[in-house]
Chains A and B, each alone.
Chain A
Amino acid sequence: MRSGFLSVRHSLMIVLFGLISLCCISEISAETGRVVLHLKGVSCPFCVYGVEKRLKKVPGIQEVKTDYKAATSTVSKNPKAAIDLQALEEAVRQAGFTMDRIDLSMRGSPTVWEGKPALKDPESGQVFLLVEPDKDHVHELLDPKKWSEIQRETNVEVQGEAHPHVGSPPAIAVRKYKRMP
């Protein structure tokens, strides 16, 4: 028996397709930013709990997973939230420990910020400057050859060490980048 415009079967297929699409979008969103905090001073399981509790209080952070031997905490964020690197570092400090560095894996589209190469997260709109890995704590803008390769793509994944800045977007010292489908 047919309903007005759509049969029951067609309606079910549309609902199923929509659910699958939502799952795919969620999967992509979940991979937009992966933040790995490298910790110093955390040397017992009892210490880990305090660090994780403080990290979970940082706005936008949904989950924290610590690998004790690697001395890292990997945080996953709300896809629509910006990553606050300074707040993450402060959370580790308030737990009584030290942040060594933050590694970031970010997917986005190449853009320009005040004439400088940058990457924009499509979900949150957050912009990251792209710089070379530091030499003597000085970050130079990304090598023009690398930038021209990245600029050709609409969707790239960039991995590197993250650096907060005051008054300008945070930066990623690019170690690796690859084109994403």
Chain B
Amino acid sequence: MRKGILGIFLASIVLSNFAFHLRLEAAGINTNVALPVPKGRFILRTQTRYTRMTSDPSGTGRRLHLLEIPNVLVFGATARMALFSILPVLYRDLNITTPRRTAGLGDLAFLMRYEIYKRDWVLRTLRIALFGGLEVPSGDSPFSSGSVDVPLGFVATFQSHRQEVDLDLSYKMNTEGSGVDHGDDFIYNVAYQLRVFPWYLPEEGVPNQLNTVLELNGRFTQRDEAAGLSLANTGGNILFLSPGLQYVMKRVILETSFQYPVAKDLNEAQLESTWAVNGGIRMQF
């Protein structure tokens, strides 16, 4: 019984409090986008994200260091439809009274994104897409939720040669797993990008470009339940401000961002994120 409660407690720290969520083929670094994937082509994306959680309202000095490596493979099934498979690898260093280090796979995700609106101009585009899919448990991994969950979402992107704005809203229906009925997630992101180099485009060729990125990444989670009872220290809302940089080439994108929580409203005495940093690479082939 005690081990079960401790397991729920640890899972809730990891699953309900960190900033990572399903990032598809995001052109915003932590925000999904509606930009197309050419038919028959692949994009591979990997990131390394470090999250530091040392804000402990309970006063017991809990500390968590979380390293996530989400790997995303995207395939352009048609000009409008892209298929995603996401495999996160996680490493956790949790210190309550004694350190506990754990590594393993997170839940696997399989998603489809379908473009429902497109308007193209010269050097500008507006796209709107819906996405949905399944998250499935990754077996005996300590990071597996044990439940089959259903994410559904909406993304909109306006991109010009100079700027980009992305809006990403999604709702994840979390089901019961490992004896816990996990609370649903509502994820809301908005991103703005500005090309700063080159400031003026050359007359010929395709220049590599450097973008500055600023995002607001938020997540609201319902309380978990077990045996019909709401669980304490679960659920709440957190909003990150995420400045970043992106270097965009024809075939490869390099990116990095820093995330700082600017609004936190977590229930009871949950361990809170102090900050997070990530770096990643995207390649198409």
Contacts and interface: CB of A to CB of B under 8 A. Distances in A.
A and B assemble together: yes
Interface of A: 38-54, 66-71, 93-98, 100
A98 B203 CA distance: 21
B249 A46 contact: yes
A47 B249 CA distance: 10
B122 A49 contact: no
A45 B79 contact: no
Contact of A43 (B40, B159, B250): B159
A41 B34 CA distance: 13
Contact residues on B (Cβ < 8 Å of other chain), bracket:
35 or more
Interface of B: 27, 35-41, 76, 78-80, 115, 118, 120-125, 159-161, 164, 201-209, 248-251, 253, 282, 284
A94 B79 contact: yes
B206 A97 contact: no
B38 A45 contact: no
Nearest to B253: A46
B284 A68 contact: no
A96 B37 contact: yes
A-B complex: 7 closest residue pairs judged by Cβ atoms: A96-B36, A41-B120, A50-B38, A40-B120, A41-B125, A69-B201, A98-B120
Residue in B123, B124, B253 with the greatest tally of chain A CB atoms within 10 Å: B123
Main secondary structure of the interface of B (DSSP, over half): loop
28 contacts: A40-B122, A40-B125, A41-B118, A41-B120, A42-B123, A43-B123, A43-B124, A44-B159, A44-B164, A44-B248, A45-B207, A45-B249, A46-B27, A46-B248, A46-B284, A50-B37, A66-B205, A68-B207, A69-B123, A69-B202, A69-B204, A71-B122, A94-B78, A95-B79, A96-B36, A96-B115, A97-B36, A97-B125
Most buried by A among B205, B249, B250: B250
Contact of A45 (B40, B76, B248): B248
A51 B38 contact: yes
Contact of B39 (A38, A39, A46, A94): A94
Contact of B203 (A46, A49, A67, A71): A67
B38 A68 contact: no
Contacts of B40: 54, 94
A98 B118 CA distance: 10
B250 A45 contact: yes
B37 A43 contact: no
